[in-house]
Amino acid sequence: MNSGIYPAVSGSLAAMRKLDVISNNLANMNTPGFKRDKMTFEGVLAGTVNPPAVPQGMTADPILQKENVYIDHTSGPTSQSGNPLDMALDGDGFFAVTIPEGTAYTRQGNFRTSADGTLVTMEGYPVQGVERDKQGKAVPIKIKGNRVEVDSKGNVRVDDAPAGTISIVDFKKPYALIKSGTALFIPSDPLAKPQPGKAQVQQGFTEGSNVDSISEMVQMIETNRYFEACSKVIKGFDDIAAKSVNELGKV
């Protein structure tokens, strides 16, 4: 098989992967705290892959497309909701929440209360406070009352009585975080330790998704055209191979 077909196939697969990324971004453009995924391409020689990605021949190794997907952690736009349980972070940092696997981090601050008054995310994960119990586990924030006030440092007061301090943390940049669900993140290194965050809490506000719909649509059009171009190249090589077989059969 002509080695020239491999770059076209590689490009088609990369384009399909990018379309999946763009589609997921657009699907979550209205999800509070969602961080879009971005994708970059990089050309690599097939001969540098171990084991080689294609059969080795006398011709030069084809250039394949290698894609890298990363999370864009830029802040999304904030909007006032008027809900005292909604909170946005002004600056770098994350809310810490308790999930079955341990601790996750998020900027999705449209919180609510559970049946026992625990401050939880929309998925029902408790929001951690800075206080710790005897076992060293984070104590969740309890909301038992009517009037909830949260200052810029995350100190919570319910009916003028202290109810704990929301845990706000941050990590070294560039962030080595991976997604766990729609708007939750966990460190790629399980041993990574968060540090106190400097972000300020804005009560009654929510942070929206950082997805730019116009930019994503433009990228979708460009990627579709790139995919079509790769498909035409593949068809061209296929036609050449078919013609070669037919012509050789006549000799």
Amino acid at 106: T
DSSP readout, 176-207?
A: -EEESSSSEEEESSTT---EE--PEEEETEEE
Helices marked H in the chain — which ranges?
5-27, 213-250
From first to last of its 251 residues, what are the pLDDT tens digits of the chain?
455 677 777 778 888 889 999 999 999 999 999 999 998 766 554 555 544 444 544 444 555 556 788 999 999 999 999 899 999 999 999 999 999 999 999 999 999 999 999 999 999 999 999 998 888 889 999 999 889 999 999 999 999 999 999 999 999 999 999 999 889 999 999 889 999 999 999 999 999 999 999 999 999 999 999 889 888 888 887 777 777 666 665 55
**Residue 94 near residue 207 (C-beta atoms within 8 A):** no
> Count of CB atoms within 10 A of residue 10's CB?
23
Task: Give 119's strand partners.
Answer: 113
Kindly state the greatest CA–CA separation across the chain: 95
- The Cα–Cα gap between 81 and 65 comes to 44
**Residue 210 near residue 37 (C-beta atoms within 8 A):** no
What are the residue boundaries of the structural domains of the chain, listed by start?
Answer: 5-73+211-250, 78-207
Which letter does DSSP use for residue 58 in this model?
S
Task: Give 98's strand partners.
Answer: 103
